[in-house]
A and B are shown apart, each in its own frame.
Chain A
Amino acid sequence: KNQVEQSPQSLIILEGKNCTLQCNYTVSPFSNLRWYKQDTGRGPVSLTIMTFSENTKSNGRYTATLDADTKQSSLHITASQLSDSASYICVVSRSGDYKLSFGAGTTVTVRA
């Protein structure tokens, strides 16, 4: 079973609206959690990275939260734009060997 589960698998939102993506993980021991944006046919680009002690981190219209106790994270996109259409991947790093576990991603489609 994958150690990083993302939901929903995909979603469609109207331009200007907000949305929230979820990431649950079982990776242990925990080092950090990263959110990446991947456009089709491109490499992933880092949005945020959070360690155990960080609860929230923002990058422009992207805000990530982390609850290390429940092992849950969310990525909130505010005032979505057409360029936000992409796959968003949650990646959790294990402490010690820094092994990365990838979620399957959430595909976001923003429509005008």
Chain B
Amino acid sequence: GAVVSQHPSRVICKSGTSVKIECRSLDFQATTMFWYRQFPKQSLMLMATSNEGSKATYEQGVEKDKFLINHASLTLSTLTVTSAHPEDSSFYICSARDLGQGNTIYFGEGSWLTVV
């Protein structure tokens, strides 16, 4: 079964609104989670590294004020897309690292965001 759960799996929102995506590690504690964006037929692009109890580390070119990341507990990280625009429509995926399993990386099922 899934060890990393993402919610919602699909969401449609209006331009200008904000939407939150949750990423939970189900069977382990994840001090580090990762957020990716994937466009159709392209590879995953790392957006940011989420560290429990501290600020996220964003990749170059990713607006931290637009993509707010919060890692408030060892099992939950959230990505909030603020003031969403149609160009933010994409597939967002999170992953979590299980230090107890040799740094195995588990991916969530992904969240489809459509901004209309």
Residue A60 at the B interface, CB < 8 A?
no
The stretch of B42-50, B62-70, B71-79, B80-88 in contact with A is: B42-50
CB-CB < 8 A to A31: which residues of B? 103
CB-CB < 8 A to B58: which residues of A? none
B41 adjacent to A46 (CB under 8 Å): no
| Assembled-state Cα–Cα distance A57/B25 (Å) | 26
A42 adjacent to B105 (CB under 8 Å): no
Tell me if A's interface is mostly helix, strand, loop or mixed.
strand
A100 adjacent to B43 (CB under 8 Å): no
A98 adjacent to B46 (CB under 8 Å): no
Minimum CB–CB distance from B42 to chain A (whole Å) comes to 7
B107 adjacent to A104 (CB under 8 Å): no
A46 adjacent to B109 (CB under 8 Å): no
CB-CB < 8 A to A110: which residues of B? none
Tell me if B's interface is mostly helix, strand, loop or mixed.
strand
The size class of the interface chain A forms with chain B is: 20 to 34
A43 adjacent to B43 (CB under 8 Å): no
Seen from chain B, the residues whose Cβ lies within 8 Å of a Cβ on chain A are 4, 6, 34, 41-44, 46, 91, 93, 97, 102-110, 112
A107 adjacent to B41 (CB under 8 Å): yes
A44 adjacent to B41 (CB under 8 Å): no
| Assembled-state Cα–Cα distance A32/B97 (Å) | 14
Given A93-B103, A98-B97, A42 and B109 touching (CB < 8 A)?
Answer: yes
| Assembled-state Cα–Cα distance A111/B24 (Å) | 36
Which chain A residue lies CB-closest to B6? A43
B43 adjacent to A104 (CB under 8 Å): yes
Minimum CB–CB distance from A108 to chain B (whole Å) comes to 13
Given A43-B108, A93-B103, A104 and B91 touching (CB < 8 A)?
Answer: no
